[in-house]
Amino acid sequence: MPSDLDQLRRENARLIELLEAHGIAWRSGGPAPTEPVPILEAAPANGPGSTQEKVALFRRLFRGSDDVHALRWKSNSSGRSGYAPACANEWRPGICEKPRISCRDCNHRELLPLSDAAIYGHLAGDHTIGLYPLLDNDHCHLLAVDFDEQDWRDDARAFLRSCRELAVPAALETRQPGAALISHTCNATRQL
């Protein structure tokens, strides 16, 4: 008996044939989405061993824009926190004029790409990075869902079960106390 995914693929091919037979344009202007990497099959059962394997696993799980990343900041005086794009010139004397000039208005802003060193620092706990998951072509390769309520374990399992039933590659990360994060790769296009 064919799987639901195989059935959907055949139906999709039949619909594409109908559209093309009637001269109806169906392709978007951007490149065709790529097949997502099955994350659960890509990661070793006992977890990655070397530093390079851990960085590679992070890049597979959390694919986003490589030309920029954010760093988390926290104000000691006010307690406020947030994320800001990582800049090579931040707080450099004679160049950076924070807080007088906002980063977005600075002529010396030099955004830093997401490097393996930045990811390693994040994994080692030196800093917390943020990703920009929406790419220039309006594609996104990940979705992160945070479950915090009392039934978070059941909710996370149900979400993961739904991903598996829909053949959406998924990975589950649990943090204590009481939170679970599920991320999965998908080739979703932003709808305007």
Structural domains in the chain plus CATH codes: 35-66+117-192 (3.30.70), 70-112 (no CATH)
Instruction: Find tokens 């044939």 and name the residue.
Output: 17
What value does the mean pLDDT take over residues 179-188? Answer: 45
Mean pLDDT of the chain, nearest integer: 78
Cβ density class 134-172: b for 16+ within 10 Å, e for less: eeeeebbbbeeeebeeeebeebbeebbeebeeeebbbbb
Q: What is the pTM of this model?
A: 0.64
Tokens of 58: 């992070």
> By CB neighbour count within 10 A (0-12 exposed, 13-18 middle, 19+ buried), where does 1 fall?
exposed
Q: Which of 36-45, 95-104, 128-137, 162-171 has the lowest mean pLDDT?
A: 36-45
If pLDDT is split at 50, 70 and 90, which confidence band does 189 have?
A: very low
What pLDDT sits at residue 170?
83
Q: pLDDT digit string (tens) for 90-137?
A: 999 999 998 899 888 999 999 999 999 999 999 999 999 999 998 888
The Cα 88–Cα 68 span in angstroms is 11
pLDDT > 70 in the chain, percent: 73
